[in-house]
Protein backbone atom coordinates (compact mmCIF):
# COMPACT_ATOMS: atom_id res chain seq x y z
CA UNK A 1 0.00 0.00 0.00
CA UNK A 2 1.49 3.34 -1.05
CA UNK A 3 1.56 6.36 1.20
CA UNK A 4 0.33 9.90 0.49
CA UNK A 5 2.83 12.15 2.29
CA UNK A 6 0.99 15.37 1.48
CA UNK A 7 -2.21 14.03 3.01
CA UNK A 8 -0.36 12.96 6.15
CA UNK A 9 1.22 16.41 6.52
CA UNK A 10 -2.18 18.08 6.32
CA UNK A 11 -3.39 16.00 9.27
CA UNK A 12 -0.56 17.01 11.62
CA UNK A 13 -1.18 20.18 13.64
CA UNK A 14 1.54 22.79 14.25
CA UNK A 15 3.52 21.67 11.21
CA UNK A 16 5.25 24.54 9.42
CA UNK A 17 6.26 23.16 6.02
CA UNK A 18 8.61 24.89 3.61
CA UNK A 19 6.80 26.96 0.97
CA UNK A 20 9.76 28.54 -0.82
CA UNK A 21 11.02 30.96 1.83
CA UNK A 22 12.04 30.62 5.47
CA UNK A 23 9.74 32.59 7.76
CA UNK A 24 9.75 32.33 11.55
CA UNK A 25 6.83 30.17 12.78
CA UNK A 26 3.74 32.10 13.92
CA UNK A 27 3.98 30.64 17.43
CA UNK A 28 6.59 29.10 19.69
CA UNK A 29 10.13 29.96 20.78
CA UNK A 30 13.50 28.40 20.04
CA UNK A 31 15.51 26.43 22.60
CA UNK A 32 18.16 28.65 24.17
CA UNK A 33 21.61 27.51 25.30
CA UNK A 34 22.73 29.51 28.32
CA UNK A 35 26.11 27.73 28.54
CA UNK A 36 27.80 24.58 27.23
CA UNK A 37 25.15 21.88 27.46
CA UNK A 38 22.83 24.11 29.50
CA UNK A 39 19.34 24.37 27.99
CA UNK A 40 16.41 26.66 28.48
CA UNK A 41 13.41 24.97 26.87
CA UNK A 42 10.20 27.03 26.49
CA UNK A 43 6.83 25.37 27.02
CA UNK A 44 5.82 26.37 23.49
CA UNK A 45 8.93 25.24 21.68
CA UNK A 46 9.99 25.23 18.03
CA UNK A 47 11.82 22.09 16.93
CA UNK A 48 13.18 21.77 13.42
CA UNK A 49 12.87 18.75 11.20
CA UNK A 50 14.51 17.55 7.99
CA UNK A 51 12.15 15.12 6.27
CA UNK A 52 15.01 13.29 4.56
CA UNK A 53 15.43 11.20 1.42
CA UNK A 54 14.03 7.81 0.44
CA UNK A 55 11.81 6.57 3.25
CA UNK A 56 12.71 9.66 5.29
CA UNK A 57 9.39 11.52 4.96
CA UNK A 58 7.41 8.40 5.89
CA UNK A 59 9.28 7.75 9.14
CA UNK A 60 9.65 11.45 9.99
CA UNK A 61 5.94 12.24 9.93
CA UNK A 62 5.08 8.95 11.65
CA UNK A 63 7.43 9.89 14.50
CA UNK A 64 6.09 13.44 14.72
CA UNK A 65 2.54 12.10 15.10
CA UNK A 66 3.64 9.92 18.02
CA UNK A 67 5.66 12.73 19.64
CA UNK A 68 2.68 15.10 19.48
CA UNK A 69 0.43 12.51 21.11
CA UNK A 70 2.93 11.94 23.93
CA UNK A 71 3.32 15.67 24.61
CA UNK A 72 -0.44 16.18 24.73
CA UNK A 73 -0.91 13.15 26.98
CA UNK A 74 1.83 14.27 29.36
CA UNK A 75 1.14 18.01 29.53
CA UNK A 76 -2.27 18.73 28.02
CA UNK A 77 -2.19 22.17 26.42
CA UNK A 78 0.51 23.53 28.73
CA UNK A 79 3.33 22.37 26.43
CA UNK A 80 3.36 22.22 22.65
CA UNK A 81 5.75 21.75 19.75
CA UNK A 82 5.78 23.67 16.52
CA UNK A 83 7.58 21.55 13.92
CA UNK A 84 9.55 23.73 11.50
CA UNK A 85 10.70 22.15 8.23
CA UNK A 86 14.29 22.74 7.13
CA UNK A 87 15.01 21.76 3.55
CA UNK A 88 18.12 19.58 3.17
CA UNK A 89 19.01 16.68 0.87
CA UNK A 90 17.31 15.71 -2.37
CA UNK A 91 14.46 18.17 -1.86
CA UNK A 92 16.93 21.03 -1.35
CA UNK A 93 18.84 20.08 -4.48
CA UNK A 94 15.64 20.36 -6.53
CA UNK A 95 14.78 23.75 -5.03
CA UNK A 96 18.23 25.35 -4.60
CA UNK A 97 20.63 23.20 -6.65
CA UNK A 98 22.45 22.34 -3.40
CA UNK A 99 21.77 19.54 -0.93
CA UNK A 100 22.83 21.71 2.03
CA UNK A 101 22.01 25.32 1.08
CA UNK A 102 23.27 28.27 3.11
CA UNK A 103 19.70 29.36 3.88
CA UNK A 104 19.00 26.04 5.58
CA UNK A 105 22.25 26.16 7.55
CA UNK A 106 21.37 29.59 8.92
CA UNK A 107 17.95 28.39 10.12
CA UNK A 108 19.48 25.31 11.72
CA UNK A 109 21.94 27.57 13.57
CA UNK A 110 18.97 29.48 14.94
CA UNK A 111 16.91 26.42 15.90
CA UNK A 112 19.79 24.32 17.30
CA UNK A 113 17.50 21.34 18.12
CA UNK A 114 16.10 19.28 15.25
CA UNK A 115 15.07 15.90 13.88
CA UNK A 116 16.89 14.60 10.82
CA UNK A 117 15.32 11.72 8.92
CA UNK A 118 17.82 9.66 6.89
CA UNK A 119 19.66 11.44 4.08
CA UNK A 120 21.32 9.81 1.09
CA UNK A 121 25.07 9.22 1.26
CA UNK A 122 26.81 8.13 -1.96
CA UNK A 123 29.24 5.21 -1.96
CA UNK A 124 32.63 5.62 -3.61
CA UNK A 125 32.09 9.10 -5.05
CA UNK A 126 29.65 11.95 -5.48
CA UNK A 127 28.84 14.51 -2.81
CA UNK A 128 30.15 14.23 0.74
CA UNK A 129 27.92 12.79 3.48
CA UNK A 130 25.52 15.49 4.71
CA UNK A 131 25.08 13.52 7.93
CA UNK A 132 28.78 13.89 8.71
CA UNK A 133 28.78 17.53 7.57
CA UNK A 134 25.91 18.44 9.91
CA UNK A 135 27.60 16.78 12.87
CA UNK A 136 30.82 18.65 12.19
CA UNK A 137 29.12 21.93 11.32
CA UNK A 138 27.35 22.06 14.69
CA UNK A 139 30.12 20.22 16.56
CA UNK A 140 27.74 17.44 17.62
CA UNK A 141 30.58 15.42 19.01
CA UNK A 142 28.65 12.59 20.70
CA UNK A 143 26.42 10.15 18.87
CA UNK A 144 24.37 8.39 21.54
CA UNK A 145 22.67 5.15 20.51
CA UNK A 146 20.55 3.21 23.01
CA UNK A 147 19.93 -0.43 22.09
CA UNK A 148 17.25 -2.15 24.16
CA UNK A 149 15.24 -5.30 23.58
CA UNK A 150 11.45 -5.04 23.49
CA UNK A 151 9.50 -8.27 24.20
CA UNK A 152 8.39 -9.86 20.96
CA UNK A 153 11.05 -8.45 18.68
CA UNK A 154 12.94 -10.99 16.54
CA UNK A 155 16.46 -11.70 17.80
CA UNK A 156 19.22 -14.22 17.01
CA UNK A 157 20.09 -14.41 20.72
CA UNK A 158 18.85 -17.07 23.12
CA UNK A 159 18.44 -14.42 25.84
CA UNK A 160 17.79 -11.11 24.05
CA UNK A 161 16.36 -9.59 27.22
CA UNK A 162 19.99 -9.11 28.33
CA UNK A 163 20.49 -6.43 25.67
CA UNK A 164 20.34 -3.02 27.33
CA UNK A 165 23.19 -0.96 25.91
CA UNK A 166 23.97 2.72 25.45
CA UNK A 167 26.68 3.34 22.86
CA UNK A 168 28.63 6.62 22.89
CA UNK A 169 30.27 7.07 19.50
CA UNK A 170 32.72 9.93 18.97
CA UNK A 171 31.25 11.85 16.08
CA UNK A 172 33.72 14.31 14.59
CA UNK A 173 37.08 12.59 14.16
CA UNK A 174 38.57 9.29 12.98
CA UNK A 175 38.19 8.32 9.30
CA UNK A 176 34.76 10.00 9.34
CA UNK A 177 36.53 13.34 9.31
CA UNK A 178 36.59 12.76 5.56
CA UNK A 179 40.25 13.69 5.01
CA UNK A 180 41.13 11.62 1.97
CA UNK A 181 42.24 11.83 -1.66
CA UNK A 182 41.75 9.47 -4.63
CA UNK A 183 44.76 7.41 -5.74
CA UNK A 184 45.23 9.36 -8.99
CA UNK A 185 45.00 12.86 -7.50
CA UNK A 186 47.91 15.32 -7.23
CA UNK A 187 47.31 15.51 -3.48
CA UNK A 188 47.72 11.76 -2.99
CA UNK A 189 50.89 11.82 -5.09
CA UNK A 190 52.35 14.62 -2.95
CA UNK A 191 51.59 12.79 0.27
CA UNK A 192 53.06 9.52 -0.99
CA UNK A 193 56.23 11.34 -2.05
CA UNK A 194 56.42 13.21 1.26
CA UNK A 195 56.13 9.97 3.24
CA UNK A 196 58.85 8.33 1.13
CA UNK A 197 61.22 11.27 1.35
CA UNK A 198 60.77 12.30 4.98
CA UNK A 199 59.95 9.02 6.74
CA UNK A 200 61.01 6.21 4.42
CA UNK A 201 57.44 4.94 4.18
CA UNK A 202 56.72 3.34 0.81
CA UNK A 203 53.13 3.35 -0.42
CA UNK A 204 52.06 2.02 -3.80
CA UNK A 205 51.42 4.63 -6.48
CA UNK A 206 47.90 3.26 -7.03
CA UNK A 207 46.91 3.75 -3.36
CA UNK A 208 44.35 6.28 -2.22
CA UNK A 209 45.26 8.19 0.94
CA UNK A 210 43.11 8.73 4.02
CA UNK A 211 44.04 10.38 7.32
CA UNK A 212 42.69 9.21 10.68
CA UNK A 213 42.81 12.00 13.29
CA UNK A 214 41.95 11.19 16.91
CA UNK A 215 42.70 13.99 19.38
CA UNK A 216 43.03 14.11 23.13
CA UNK A 217 40.54 16.99 23.26
CA UNK A 218 37.92 15.18 21.15
CA UNK A 219 38.34 11.96 23.07
CA UNK A 220 38.18 13.41 26.53
CA UNK A 221 35.08 15.54 26.04
CA UNK A 222 33.00 12.52 24.96
CA UNK A 223 34.60 10.49 27.75
CA UNK A 224 33.29 13.02 30.26
CA UNK A 225 29.80 12.84 28.75
CA UNK A 226 29.73 9.03 28.78
CA UNK A 227 31.10 8.70 32.32
CA UNK A 228 28.73 11.36 33.64
CA UNK A 229 25.81 9.59 31.95
CA UNK A 230 26.82 6.23 33.42
CA UNK A 231 27.14 7.61 36.94
CA UNK A 232 23.92 9.67 36.88
CA UNK A 233 21.88 6.83 35.37
CA UNK A 234 23.35 4.15 37.65
CA UNK A 235 24.79 2.08 34.82
CA UNK A 236 27.14 -0.78 35.67
CA UNK A 237 30.06 -0.64 33.23
CA UNK A 238 31.75 1.72 30.77
CA UNK A 239 33.72 -0.27 28.19
CA UNK A 240 36.17 1.46 25.84
CA UNK A 241 36.13 -0.31 22.45
CA UNK A 242 39.31 0.24 20.43
CA UNK A 243 41.91 -1.34 18.13
CA UNK A 244 44.84 0.04 20.09
CA UNK A 245 46.89 -3.13 19.76
CA UNK A 246 47.44 -2.20 16.09
CA UNK A 247 46.66 1.54 15.84
CA UNK A 248 48.60 2.49 18.93
CA UNK A 249 48.76 6.27 18.55
CA UNK A 250 45.15 6.84 17.51
CA UNK A 251 42.87 4.18 18.98
CA UNK A 252 45.39 3.16 21.61
CA UNK A 253 45.63 6.80 22.65
CA UNK A 254 41.80 6.99 22.70
CA UNK A 255 41.74 4.28 25.37
CA UNK A 256 44.52 5.89 27.43
CA UNK A 257 42.90 9.34 27.30
CA UNK A 258 39.52 7.93 28.43
CA UNK A 259 41.19 6.17 31.35
CA UNK A 260 42.98 9.40 32.23
CA UNK A 261 39.67 11.27 32.49
CA UNK A 262 38.12 8.48 34.56
CA UNK A 263 41.11 8.40 36.90
CA UNK A 264 41.59 12.15 37.30
CA UNK A 265 38.01 13.48 37.19
CA UNK A 266 35.72 10.63 38.32
CA UNK A 267 37.97 8.67 40.68
CA UNK A 268 35.49 8.48 43.54
CA UNK A 269 32.83 6.98 41.25
CA UNK A 270 34.78 4.41 39.24
CA UNK A 271 36.86 1.27 39.63
CA UNK A 272 39.15 -0.25 37.00
CA UNK A 273 39.25 -3.90 36.00
CA UNK A 274 42.79 -4.44 37.31
CA UNK A 275 41.62 -3.24 40.75
CA UNK A 276 38.83 -5.80 41.18
CA UNK A 277 41.06 -8.37 42.90
CA UNK A 278 41.30 -6.14 45.97
CA UNK A 279 37.48 -6.17 46.16
CA UNK A 280 37.15 -9.93 45.91
CA UNK A 281 36.60 -9.84 42.16
CA UNK A 282 33.37 -7.83 42.37
CA UNK A 283 32.57 -4.20 41.64
CA UNK A 284 32.04 -2.29 44.91
CA UNK A 285 28.47 -1.03 45.46
CA UNK A 286 27.88 2.41 43.97
CA UNK A 287 30.89 2.21 41.64
CA UNK A 288 31.00 2.06 37.83
CA UNK A 289 33.47 -0.42 36.33
CA UNK A 290 35.70 1.09 33.63
CA UNK A 291 37.33 -1.44 31.29
CA UNK A 292 38.35 -1.86 27.66
CA UNK A 293 38.05 -4.43 24.90
CA UNK A 294 39.80 -4.83 21.54
CA UNK A 295 37.27 -4.01 18.81
CA UNK A 296 37.09 -7.39 17.04
CA UNK A 297 36.81 -9.20 20.37
CA UNK A 298 34.12 -6.76 21.49
CA UNK A 299 32.00 -7.53 18.45
CA UNK A 300 31.93 -11.25 19.15
CA UNK A 301 31.53 -10.84 22.92
CA UNK A 302 28.30 -8.92 22.38
CA UNK A 303 26.98 -12.23 21.07
CA UNK A 304 28.61 -14.62 23.54
CA UNK A 305 28.68 -12.53 26.74
CA UNK A 306 25.89 -10.06 26.07
CA UNK A 307 24.88 -9.22 29.61
CA UNK A 308 28.38 -8.15 30.62
CA UNK A 309 28.21 -4.93 28.59
CA UNK A 310 26.34 -1.76 29.36
CA UNK A 311 27.78 1.60 28.22
CA UNK A 312 30.17 1.31 25.27
CA UNK A 313 32.47 4.22 24.36
CA UNK A 314 34.17 4.07 20.97
CA UNK A 315 35.89 6.12 18.28
CA UNK A 316 33.79 6.95 15.25
CA UNK A 317 34.27 3.94 12.97
CA UNK A 318 34.17 1.32 15.75
CA UNK A 319 31.08 3.02 17.12
CA UNK A 320 29.39 2.66 13.76
CA UNK A 321 30.20 -1.04 13.54
CA UNK A 322 29.13 -1.92 17.07
CA UNK A 323 25.91 0.11 16.83
CA UNK A 324 24.75 -1.82 13.79
CA UNK A 325 25.65 -5.19 15.27
CA UNK A 326 23.89 -4.33 18.52
CA UNK A 327 20.80 -3.22 16.62
CA UNK A 328 20.75 -6.58 14.87
CA UNK A 329 20.36 -8.26 18.27
CA UNK A 330 17.04 -6.54 18.91
CA UNK A 331 15.29 -6.46 15.55
CA UNK A 332 17.59 -4.45 13.31
CA UNK A 333 18.20 -0.83 12.41
CA UNK A 334 14.48 -0.13 12.18
CA UNK A 335 14.34 0.02 15.98
CA UNK A 336 17.71 1.76 16.55
CA UNK A 337 17.55 5.47 17.49
CA UNK A 338 20.35 8.00 17.69
CA UNK A 339 20.90 11.42 19.20
CA UNK A 340 23.83 13.64 18.19
CA UNK A 341 24.74 15.94 21.07
CA UNK A 342 27.09 18.89 21.35
CA UNK A 343 27.58 21.72 23.77
CA UNK A 344 25.34 24.01 21.70
CA UNK A 345 22.81 21.83 19.91
CA UNK A 346 21.38 18.37 19.26
CA UNK A 347 20.07 16.35 16.33
CA UNK A 348 17.78 13.33 16.67
CA UNK A 349 18.06 10.73 13.92
CA UNK A 350 17.36 7.08 13.17
CA UNK A 351 20.46 4.94 12.69
CA UNK A 352 19.22 3.36 9.47
CA UNK A 353 19.61 4.72 5.95
CA UNK A 354 17.20 5.88 3.26
CA UNK A 355 16.18 2.39 2.00
CA UNK A 356 15.24 3.77 -1.44
CA UNK A 357 13.69 0.50 -2.67
CA UNK A 358 10.98 0.88 0.00
CA UNK A 359 10.31 4.55 -0.71
CA UNK A 360 6.60 5.33 -0.74
CA UNK A 361 5.58 1.76 0.08
CA UNK A 362 4.50 2.37 3.69
CA UNK A 363 6.45 -0.72 4.73
CA UNK A 364 9.39 0.09 7.00
CA UNK A 365 9.38 0.37 10.75
CA UNK A 366 9.32 3.95 12.14
CA UNK A 367 10.42 2.92 15.64
CA UNK A 368 14.01 4.17 15.25
CA UNK A 369 12.79 7.69 14.42
CA UNK A 370 10.10 7.58 17.11
CA UNK A 371 12.66 6.57 19.75
CA UNK A 372 15.11 9.21 18.50
CA UNK A 373 12.52 11.81 19.52
CA UNK A 374 12.00 9.94 22.80
CA UNK A 375 15.72 10.35 23.50
CA UNK A 376 15.62 14.01 22.46
CA UNK A 377 12.78 14.64 24.90
CA UNK A 378 14.88 13.18 27.72
CA UNK A 379 17.76 15.52 26.97
CA UNK A 380 15.33 18.45 26.74
CA UNK A 381 13.94 17.57 30.18
CA UNK A 382 10.53 16.45 28.90
CA UNK A 383 10.85 13.06 30.57
CA UNK A 384 7.12 12.49 31.06
CA UNK A 385 6.50 12.69 27.31
CA UNK A 386 9.51 10.43 26.71
CA UNK A 387 8.06 7.82 29.05
CA UNK A 388 4.76 7.81 27.16
CA UNK A 389 6.58 7.23 23.88
CA UNK A 390 8.59 4.34 25.36
CA UNK A 391 5.51 2.74 26.92
CA UNK A 392 3.53 3.21 23.71
CA UNK A 393 6.11 1.46 21.55
CA UNK A 394 6.72 -1.32 24.06
CA UNK A 395 2.99 -1.96 24.45
CA UNK A 396 2.47 -2.07 20.68
CA UNK A 397 5.00 -4.88 20.36
CA UNK A 398 3.75 -6.71 23.42
CA UNK A 399 0.21 -6.64 22.02
CA UNK A 400 1.44 -8.13 18.74
CA UNK A 401 1.63 -5.20 16.30
CA UNK A 402 4.61 -5.28 13.92
CA UNK A 403 5.60 -3.83 10.57
CA UNK A 404 6.44 -6.12 7.69
CA UNK A 405 10.20 -5.71 7.94
CA UNK A 406 10.13 -7.11 11.49
CA UNK A 407 7.56 -9.84 10.82
CA UNK A 408 9.59 -11.24 7.95
CA UNK A 409 12.52 -11.89 10.32
CA UNK A 410 10.39 -14.33 12.31
CA UNK A 411 9.79 -18.00 11.63
CA UNK A 412 6.26 -19.14 10.80
CA UNK A 413 5.90 -20.43 14.35
CA UNK A 414 7.10 -17.14 15.86
CA UNK A 415 4.64 -15.20 13.73
CA UNK A 416 1.79 -17.37 14.93
CA UNK A 417 2.78 -16.81 18.56
CA UNK A 418 3.71 -13.13 18.46
CA UNK A 419 2.00 -11.32 15.61
CA UNK A 420 -1.56 -10.12 15.97
CA UNK A 421 -1.42 -7.82 12.93
CA UNK A 422 1.18 -6.65 10.43
CA UNK A 423 0.88 -2.89 9.92
CA UNK A 424 2.30 -0.33 7.54
CA UNK A 425 4.57 2.51 8.64
CA UNK A 426 1.76 5.01 9.25
CA UNK A 427 -0.62 2.44 10.73
CA UNK A 428 2.02 1.35 13.25
CA UNK A 429 2.50 4.98 14.30
CA UNK A 430 -1.27 5.41 14.56
CA UNK A 431 -1.44 2.30 16.76
CA UNK A 432 1.22 3.72 19.08
CA UNK A 433 -0.74 7.00 19.22
CA UNK A 434 -3.89 5.06 20.11
CA UNK A 435 -2.05 3.21 22.88
CA UNK A 436 -0.57 6.43 24.30
CA UNK A 437 -4.05 7.96 24.50
CA UNK A 438 -5.37 5.03 26.52
CA UNK A 439 -2.37 4.57 28.82
Tell me, yes or no, if 320 is annotated catalytic.
yes
Among 49, 61, 141, 176, the one annotated catalytic: 176
| Residue 353 marked as a ligand binder | yes
Residue whose C-alpha is closest to residue 87's, from 60, 49, 115: 49
Q: Is 131 annotated as a binding residue?
A: yes
> What is the separation, in whole angstroms, between the first and last Cα of the chain?
29
The one catalytic residue among 91, 148, 212, 243: 243
Shared domain check, 161 and 27: no
Residues (pLDDT < 70) of the chain are: 1, 122-128
Q: Check: CB of residue 96 under 8 Å from CB of residue 406.
A: no
- The pTM for the full model equals 0.88
30 is in an annotated binding site: no
Q: What is the pLDDT of residue 132?
A: 80
> Left (φ > 0), alpha (ψ -120 to 50) or beta: where does 162 sit?
alpha
Q: Is 398 annotated as a binding residue?
A: no
Among residues 139, 296, 324, 430, the one annotated as catalytic is: 296
Give the per-residue pLDDT at 128: 64
Report helix angle 216-232 to 251-265, nearest 10: 50
- Which residue out of 53, 174, 292, 320 is catalytically annotated? 320
Asked, for residue 59, whether it belongs to a domain, the answer is yes
Please tell me the predicted confidence (pLDDT) of residue 344.
92
Q: Is 355 annotated as a binding residue?
A: yes
Claim to verify: residue 251 and residue 105 sit in the same structural domain? no
Cα dist. 43→35, 78, 278 in Å? 19, 7, 50
Residue 232 has a pLDDT of 86
Which CATH number does the domain housing residue 308 bear? 3.40.718.10
342, 323: one domain:
no
The 10s digit of each residue's pLDDT in 186-245 is 999 999 999 999 999 999 999 999 999 999 999 999 999 999 989 988 899 999 999 999
Q: Does residue 150 form part of some domain?
A: no
Parent domain of 355? 1-145+335-439
296 catalytic per annotation: yes
Could you tell me the CA-to-CA distances from 431 to 167, 318, 349, 391 in Å, in that order?
A: 29, 36, 21, 12
How many domains would you assign to the chain?
3
Q: Is 95 left (phi over 0), alpha (psi -120 to 50) or beta?
A: alpha
Active site residue 243: yes
Residue 21 assigned ligand-binding role: no
Amino acid sequence: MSVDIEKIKQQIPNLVTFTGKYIDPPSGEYVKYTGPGQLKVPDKVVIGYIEGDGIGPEVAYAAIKVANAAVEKAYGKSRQITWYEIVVGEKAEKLFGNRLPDQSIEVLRKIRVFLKAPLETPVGGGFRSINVTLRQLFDLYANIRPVKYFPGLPSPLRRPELVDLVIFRENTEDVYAGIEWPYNSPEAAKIREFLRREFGVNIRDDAGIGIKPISKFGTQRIARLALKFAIENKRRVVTVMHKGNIQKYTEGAFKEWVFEVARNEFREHVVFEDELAQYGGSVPPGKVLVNDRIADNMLQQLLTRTGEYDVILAPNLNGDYVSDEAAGLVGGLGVAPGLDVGDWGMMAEPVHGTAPKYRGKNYVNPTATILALELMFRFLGWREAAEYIMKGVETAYREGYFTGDLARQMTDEERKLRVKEVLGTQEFADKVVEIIKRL
